[in-house]
Amino acid sequence: METKELEAKAAEYLALEKNEYFRNELQKVLNKKNINDLNDRFYTELSFGTGGLRGVIGGGYNRMNAYTVRKATQGLADYINGQVTDGSVVIAYDSRNFSDLFAKEAALTLCANGIKTKVFSSLRPTPELSFAVRELGATAGIVVTASHNPPEYNGYKVYWSDGGQITPPHDSGIIGMVKKVSEPKPSPSEKEALKKGLLEYIDAEIDNKYVKMVKNYFLFPELLKSKGRDLKVVYTPLHGTGTMLVERILGECGIKVKTVAEQREPNGDFPTVDYPNPEEASAMQLALELGERSEADLVLGTDPDADRLGIAVPDKNGKFRLISGNQLGCLLGDYIFSVLKQQNRMPEKPVLVKTIVTTELQRLIAESYGAKVYDVLTGFKYIGEKIKEFESTGESYVFGGEESYGYLIETEVRDKDAVSAAVLTAEMALYDRERGMSLLDHLNDIYSRFGYFEEILISKTFKGQAGLEKIKTLMNSLRENAPESVGGSKVAVIRDFQLSLETDTASGTKSEIKLPKSDVIQLVLADGTVVTARPSGTEPKIKFYASCRAEKGLELTKAQADVKKKLEKIRYDLEEICRI
């Protein structure tokens, strides 16, 4: 954009923004005449996508700030008032910078539109927000979070009355309303909103009900009661929201919890980590060190809004080993299905739901217990959507998850829940110990039954306007000129989820993919390896997933070596693809 156009956009924004911090922050950029920075703030608007908003904090239309939050909320309010006559919304927020401000701005904007709004008075995990929407019978919910993104980000996710993130037709309906907003309605003061009964703060009542619900999903409550004190757990909330509930529930089970002191208190700058993401080994380092020093049995880590869970377990030498998201999903799935079978509590039509980039090992595990498996697109809202469908089909959701450390055990929540997953993981560790196994032994037992699987994820970040074009170029290249082989193995099947087409490369036969359209390309290789390319929906990244399987029956060390060689070749080819 030309300098004059950028300056005009900036002046327009400054007239609309009521918050002094964001006005002053942008004014400093104008004073310095930093055109590149100005262009990044105004070359596009931070769009309200299918889940909500997420972006870098700062002044400008392409930033997370008080104005963009109020504008998005005005659109949501217009949509709600068009759908129901007596709408209500629940709001929660995490530990990120300005989360409390954005939550308040959203709440008062809703109140300005006559919508009753209930807000947690302090930070709470995302899964508790989902629970609260259902428990309180609200029309919608908002959680202010950027999940595991770097500190400069914040975001805003919208949930509908079923407790799940918005899906059709509500997502497109809300997006349409947000686009029509030029200026949000003037907000009342907090005092006025409280006096009129439009604003209400909620806390302990929902906390207690949520905790009770999580405890209802214990498979061996008596084991926890009698042996919980024997399990030593190290936990890190990574400066986020998980502390209160994870510590509380584990503590009430008698489990000894040592929380990493440096990461226990909420802090939106996340000073001890580069990324507050339990998927990152570096983020878990302090917890691993404390685990070794205290000779713990289990290390747990949750991201800032406590919807993702990472774990580590000691090997025979006492050194802690991180467990991948796919591996923990396999362990939890196997544990839940096996115990339900053992206790004769398996529902009549059990179901596991996973995403298209989650390991196929989970399918084999679930099917071995007679469960049906559904694949959905990446994004937990699709798992929540399937749970809603099961209410009319008579099928019973048992477990679901995605490779990116997200799991859901209960149906009272319709988003990934690291709190309940953390508690059940502790129970599983205790159960395995009682039968003379470690979690690593349990994992190896799964491999012995179904064959060895291993996955890699390659993320490439391309920032700014040029970065978006680079990602589009990469996806177009894969779509129009898919490689004939990857890692030395021929591409047997190409799945283009944008075109909803699956193509057999040998015969040319095409079939329909019966999932929503999405900018994802998946290559199934002749040896069964699955390689997937997907632009991130929340960060300026393109992600490549690869999942390899060794031949069943191979000795574990040999299987691991074979798969490692395959993955090294695949990694090399994917790196080459990214160099276009």
Residues with active-site annotation? 147
**Exposure b/e, 41-59, CB count within 10 A at least 16 = b:** bbbebbebebbbbbbbbbb
Residue pair 543/458 in contact (Cβ under 8 Å)? The answer is yes
Contact 438, 432 (CB under 8 A): yes
Segment (H or E) for 101: helix 99-112
Q: Report strand pairing: 501-504 vs 372-376.
A: unpaired
**Residue 333 structure tokens:** 């799935």
CA-CA distance, 468 to 332, in Å (whole number)? 37
Beta bridge partners of 64: 57
Between 99-112 and 66-83, two packed helices, what is the crossing angle to 10 degrees? 40
434: its two tokens = 């009682």
Q: Which residues contact 122 (CB under 8 A, 6 or more apart)?
A: 203
E strands, 145-264, in order: 153-160, 199-202, 232-236, 256-259
Region of residue 88 (phi > 0: left; psi between -120 and 50: alpha; otherwise: beta): beta
Among residues 334, 309, 303, the alpha carbon closest in space to that of 399 is found at 334
Burial class (CB in 10 A: 0-12, 13-18, 19+), 537: middle
Residue 151: C-alpha distances to residues 60, 155, 265, 273, 296 (Å): 18, 11, 15, 10, 30
Q: What distance in Å separates the CA atoms of residue 371 and residue 347, rounded to the nearest whole number? A: 9
Q: Could you give the CA distance from residue 474 to residue 524 in angstroms, rounded to a whole number?
A: 18
